[in-house]
Amino acid sequence: MARLGPVSGEVKGNLDFLGQANFRQGAAGVGGVQVVKDSQIWYVDKNKTGPAASGNGLSWKEAFLTLTEAVAAAGAYDVIYMGRGYYQEAAVIEITSTQRGLKIFGPTSGGVPTSNGLSSATSTDDILIINADDVEIAGITFWCLTNGKNGIDIGEDYDGYNNWIHDCCFLTGNADNDLGEYGIKLNNTDDCVGTLIENNFFYFMSTAGIVVGATRCTIRNNVIYSNAIGIDVKNAAGSFAGTTILGNYLIGRATGSTVGIQLAETTEGSVFVANNIITNFNTNITANMCENSIVNNQTAADAATYKQVDATP
């Protein structure tokens, strides 16, 4: 049996870990995660036993029981791993400007809906607020189970840059009980420049799967079921230069005034909407003044053929 003591330097050869491997400091390449020097890895596991109470968060055995504890402890460029389970946190969780580069990884795989996930116990709070730069959120199912709740709110009080949300799920009660307001809200109070939203699953939010009030955002390769609006691009604070919506799949229930992609009145070239497949909405795309920015989007004409979406409302 091999034993490694308090040594430094390179270890050559193969190492087999028969139990859990806990990393006290950041480790390049662990689980495909690249982190910076001196960053800390934190662990969250609500179902851990022996001991069943929260520890210091530095290993799976001493894991925190809540994500709230981990975010409170984390600093810039730290990494948080969440174990399996349904986490109903006491209040909204906020990532602040001092936590630039924070990464949170949950147990959800590839944006597939799961019973694992995160919700807030308070009735109208957002589940997670991001007021920071370079934050990465992946593998978490956000359960929006009460009226007016958003899964993630980015830029509520801060002009955040280059945040990345991927491989998550945003779920509400059910198709007839659309309780959550937005899956992801890119705030129009402060900008959310360079936000990337990709490979996520959205299920029947009451207002929109994604609402955009920001510049230079990219929304791509998401699946969005909607009772109302799939993606809502609002003209709240001027031009939305560089906003790109690519390769998403949007499915509506065609009940009431449903819209697949709703674009505010804006100038040509300020948004780019391409290669989306949009079907079963009352209106697939609404646009005004930016029709030339809408190209090669398709909707089902019948079971065998497709047609280009008419960009003109």
What is the residue-wise DSSP string for 125-146? --SEEE-SSS-EEES-EEE--S
pLDDT value of residue 127: 92
> pLDDT under 70 in the chain at which residues?
1-35, 37, 110-111, 113, 123-124, 147, 173-179, 188-190, 235-241, 254-256, 265-269, 288-291, 300-313
3-state secondary structure of 275: coil
**Are the C-beta atoms of 131 and 152 separated by less than 8 Å?**
no
Q: Name the token pair of 90.
A: 């006491």
Termini Cα distance of the chain: 71
pLDDT value of residue 313: 47
Q: How many C-alpha atoms does 73 have within 13 Å on its Cβ side?
A: 22
**In sequence order, which ranges of 25-99 are alpha helices (DSSP H)?**
67-73
CATH of domain 84-303: 2.160.20
Structure-token match 């005004």, residue found? 288
Read off the pTM. Answer: 0.86
CA distance 151 to 168: 10
pLDDT value of residue 16: 59
pLDDT value of residue 28: 44
Q: How many CB atoms lie within 10 A of CB 302?
A: 7
Q: How many CB atoms lie within 10 A of CB 107?
A: 15
Structure-token match 């029947």, residue found? 204
- Tell me the per-residue pLDDT of 142-158, one tens digit each, with 9 for 90 and over: 988 776 788 999 987 78
pLDDT value of residue 38: 75
pLDDT value of residue 94: 95
Asked if the bond preceding 51 is cis, omega within 30° of 0, the reply is yes
**220: CB partners within 8 A, 6+ apart:** 196, 197, 198, 244, 245, 246, 247, 248
Q: How many C-alpha atoms does 129 have within 13 Å on its Cβ side?
A: 17
CA distance 106 to 92: 17
